[in-house]
Amino acid sequence: MAKERLSETGNPDAPAWLWLAGLLGVLATACTTLPLATGGVSYTGRFALAVDGTDRHETASGRFALTVDRADVTLDLSTPLGTTVARVQSGPAGARLTVPSAGGLRTEQGPDPDALSLQVLGWPLPVSGISDWIEGRPVPDRPFRMDPGDAGAAQLEQDGWTIHFEPRDSDGRIRRLDMSRPRQGDAPAVSLRVVLDAGAGS
């Protein structure tokens, strides 16, 4: 993953954001990697992430893979060369976040993926909503606001996130989403852009 002003640390007891910074910087050479998720509907593409807090500003970019199998959602974040460095899984049984480490795989569990990513990484990932947002729709049965834009663009507000949808392609697919969340309490502001590969969502 590309990185900018990211400190490096391998200490899991360090502050969560420092641990993540080290993860982004060094895990491309880790000897243990995560296998590909299979089944369901798959979306792949590129992502660009910016985290802006009181005492830090971090950016990272790479590739992502989202697999949706009914109520089960798996989000993988990878280096540009395809090494998976973080996996967040969500389903009826709860959430898991897995990363490779020098001794194998490290897994943390929690009640929901957004809270778990905030707890472990220091900032939230929109895993609980992205499987619907990537199709251009709000998550059912949760409050939202949708504002249509020009030329087929739209903006959605849900779960504390603002999602900007680019106009759909000729095949009806959305190719880019810009998701942002303002700073809330100790949680930093997060901006996440995903650009889908052609043919993603099959």
Distance CA 77, CA 7 (A): 19
Provide mean pLDDT across the span 87-115: 88
**Domain map of the chain by residue range?**
2-196
Its pTM stands at 0.81
pLDDT of residue 202: 58
Distance CA 122, CA 19 (A): 9
Residues 138-193 have pLDDT tens digits of: 999 999 999 988 888 999 999 999 999 999 998 888 999 999 999 988 889 999 99
Has domain 2-196 been given CATH number 2.50.20.10? yes
Distance CA 49, CA 62 (A): 9
Q: What is the DSSP letter of 9?
A: -
Distance CA 146, CA 169 (A): 20
Distance CA 148, CA 156 (A): 9
pLDDT of residue 14: 39
Residue 160 Cα to chain centre, angstroms: 15
Distance CA 114, CA 123 (A): 9
